[in-house]
Amino acid sequence: MKKAELVFMSIAARGHIFAIIDFANLLIERDERLSVTVLVTNEAKEYIVELPSYANISFLELPHVEPPPMELRYRCIEKYIIDHMESHRTCVKEAIVNHVMPKSPKLLGLVIDLFCTSMIDVANELGLPSYLFFTSGATFLAFMFYLPDRHDRVGRDQFEESEPESIVPGYINPVPATVMPTVGFMEDGYISLLNLSIKFKETKGIVVNTFLDLESHALSSLSTLDLPPVYNVGPLINHKNQNSMQSKNHDKIMKWLDEQPPSSVVFLCFGSGGFFGVPQLKEIAKGLEKSGHRFLWSIRAVSEEKPPKQIKDTQHMTILPEGFLDRTKGRGLTCGWAPQVEVLAHKAVGGFVSHCGWNSILESLWFGVPILTWPLYAEQQLNAFQLVKELGLAFELKLDSRMFSDDIVKGDAIANAVKCLMKEDSEVRKTVKDLSVKGRKAVETGGSSYATVGHWIETIWS
């Protein structure tokens, strides 16, 4: 049988790598003629070791490339990532020419993460088509394509919180400036996003981890624009990639959940990059205690230093309010790392306090668990706005919160919001349960995403 190869590349971020690998695995399961080589930067190696083995997916390590100055990382992480990926162009081209092409009967193209757009030029030089894998949703993709139009009209190289609401294609409601991504308020960050969106149009297609019933308005809006074809292929749920190095936490957490009543536990988890300072952690503790609900709290804390430093998991109990652990013993469990997918799948979990990362949103919808919004970084403020104001799929705690902000969310507000989240008969809960069914059907044979994946496979072969 004729074999062909695709080359994948992602930035060194757990959510990005795992999502793009899930897509690669899906393609191989659908078409046994395909195999995938994933190019791995030096910084991404720590995430690759967490992955299980996959048939017909191989990993090719790239040489070390000196990263940009750390000062840029602290000033604008997005530009730091984009610049660092661009500096890999030469070694990526050499890796494809020297290691992939010689063993591949046919090379069908390069599939890249949204921050790897400099590799489009590499693909062009090699006469290969390039495809974008967009790790957020179709609504945020529509926002990205709104930026060039806004830039032409406004002529300003960043957002300002005082500016009026924006009419953004893909959104039903006007979008307030307060929920724009933090990077958009920085001149070099805004320009970086703008350049990414312009570069997206040079690909042969854009693959989005979403499904029609979730983002029909945004997908319809994108279809009216002069863009490469957009393929909704989700929800891609990462059922396999749990960090085996944390098995001791895993067993303790799952045993505790097994002992709790159905839908009684609120789960607090803020992603691999979400942190709070000590004052905010103390308010969260107060809110959980006052809410009266059972909770599983994945704590990631940072010091007040500049730049902040992560506080070790073993120190968490020393920074919580005095007596908190004793007073909540039996109805609460705190931990560092948590196996998010397994926790959300557990029958004891009834609500999710989340940073609103896109993977977390899809996971919560898959398992029918409603969200309480607490965005922190990246595009999460826009995601939270979409969930609450556009789709009615979440409860609002905050839409405009940002990591390391001086704006502390008080314990009383947290307690009241948790009580709303955990109501059994809320409309939000009913809507989430309904969409969970639709999301699962989308990826089954005959579903909308199943059909789109098939169409994309036909396209790359042609």
Say how far apart CA 425 and CA 150 lie, in whole Å.
42
* pLDDT confidence bin for 337, thresholds 50/70/90: confident
Asked if residue 241 has pLDDT above 60, the reply is no
pLDDT of res. 240: 64
pLDDT of res. 344: 98
Name the average pLDDT for the chain: 93
- Name which of 129-133, 210-214, 303-307, 354-358 the model is least confident about: 303-307
Say how far apart CA 249 and CA 218 lie, in whole Å.
39
Out of 16, 250, 293, 316, the active site residue is 16
Asked if residue 245 has pLDDT above 50, the reply is no
Task: Report yes or no: 350 and 375 within 8 Å, Cβ to Cβ.
Answer: no
* pLDDT confidence bin for 315, thresholds 50/70/90: low
- Name which of 64-78, 155-169, 197-211, 407-421 the model is least confident about: 155-169
Q: What are the tokens at 374?
A: 């607490």
pLDDT of res. 53: 82
pLDDT of res. 50: 80
Cα dist from 432 to 185, 339, 386, 436, whole Å: 32, 21, 14, 6
The per-residue pLDDT for range 117-162, each reduced to its tens digit, is 999 999 999 999 999 999 999 999 999 999 999 999 887 789 998 8
pLDDT of res. 52: 81
pLDDT of res. 428: 97
| Domain edges within the chain | 4-238+442-461, 247-438
pLDDT of res. 410: 97
pLDDT of res. 244: 45
Say how far apart CA 15 and CA 17 lie, in whole Å.
6
End-to-end CA distance of the chain: 17
- 107-113 and 4-9 as β-strands: parallel, antiparallel, unpaired? parallel
More confident residue, 304 or 27: 27
pLDDT of res. 238: 78
Out of 113, 250, 316, 346, the active site residue is 113
Rounded mean pLDDT, 38-56 = 89
* 3 state DSSP class of 280: helix
Q: What whole-number percentage of the chain has pLDDT above 70?
A: 95
Say how far apart CA 183 and CA 236 lie, in whole Å.
26
What type of residue sits at position 380? Q
The per-residue pLDDT for range 384-396, each reduced to its tens digit, is 999 999 999 999 9
The model's pTM:
0.95
More confident residue, 372 or 239: 372
* pLDDT confidence bin for 311, thresholds 50/70/90: confident
Geometric angle at alpha carbon 7, from 4 and 13, rounded to 5°: 145
Task: Report yes or no: 324 and 285 within 8 Å, Cβ to Cβ.
Answer: yes
Which CATH superfamily is 4-238+442-461 part of?
Glycogen Phosphorylase B; (3.40.50.2000)
Rounded mean pLDDT, 342-363 = 98
Say how far apart CA 385 and CA 179 lie, in whole Å.
7
Asked if residue 67 has pLDDT above 70, the reply is yes
* pLDDT confidence bin for 422, thresholds 50/70/90: very high
4-238+442-461 and 247-438 have identical folds = yes
- Catalytic, 16? Answer yes
Residue 88, Ramachandran bin (φ over 0: left; ψ between -120 and 50: alpha; else beta) = alpha
* pLDDT confidence bin for 200, thresholds 50/70/90: very high
Q: State which CATH number among 3.90.1150.10, 3.30.2320.80, 3.40.50.2000, 3.40.50.2020 fits the domain covering 247-438.
A: 3.40.50.2000
Rounded mean pLDDT, 293-308 = 82
- Catalytic, 113? Answer yes
Rounded mean pLDDT, 58-86 = 95
